[in-house]
Amino acid sequence: MTPHERDPLVVHGPRLQLRYPRAEDAARLFELASDPQVTRWFSWGPYTEVAQASAWIDAQPARREAGEIMDFLVVGEQGALGVTGLTEIARRDRRATVGSWLGQPYWGSGVNFEAKAMVAALAFQRLGMERLTAWANTRNGRSQRALERVGFRREGVLRAWHRHGEEMHDVVVFALVRGVWERSALAEVPVRIEGTPPPAFIVS
């Protein structure tokens, strides 16, 4: 086991926590991601069996080690509420893409705001990022509004950017850069970061 897996990252906010998924989380993830409304705009899902959630969990350590993706469970008093994380790391340009999804009961609950505050603090304070990118389907107005509410700025539309099944989708690209984050409400959220980041995700 590598040092960063022995001392895993955990990000604490006022009400929520970000931590790596574990084998025992599979049933809860299946419950959340078996909702077709949750996965409507994704390239995967909805889950049809718990084994799919287990396979996703099992793949995470190797994907962190390779620098492909670092996903966390968003955890509250009720248990896992969804997933957020970083992917598409560009070390030279010090940027990454943030992706998130939440179970439908937690839409509009403030969970997204706190989760974005925690992942932004991790990216900008600990990992050295200068920019976070986020994508939203052009037909997914709820996701676009959610990104704008937490401080991401709309930059334009990318045509035929995302493949979902056999169909190509257009996406709206959003960004949060360090200077904007430092002046935003996200940066005012008290966040505590514990553990060792995977080396592939540290850009400065």
pLDDT for the residue 146: 95
pLDDT under 50: residue ranges of the chain? none
Q: Residue 10 to residues 72, 92, 128, 155, 195: CA-CA distances in angstroms?
A: 9, 25, 17, 31, 6
Can you point out the beta strands (E) in 138-187?
Answer: 153-164, 167-177
User: Where do the domains of the chain lie?
Assistant: 3-196
pLDDT for the residue 1: 75
pLDDT for the residue 166: 79
pTM of the model: 0.95
CA distance 40 to 169: 12
Pairing mode, if any, of strands 131-137 and 153-164? unpaired
pLDDT for the residue 142: 94
Q: If one looks up domain 3-196 in CATH, what number appears?
A: 3.40.630.30
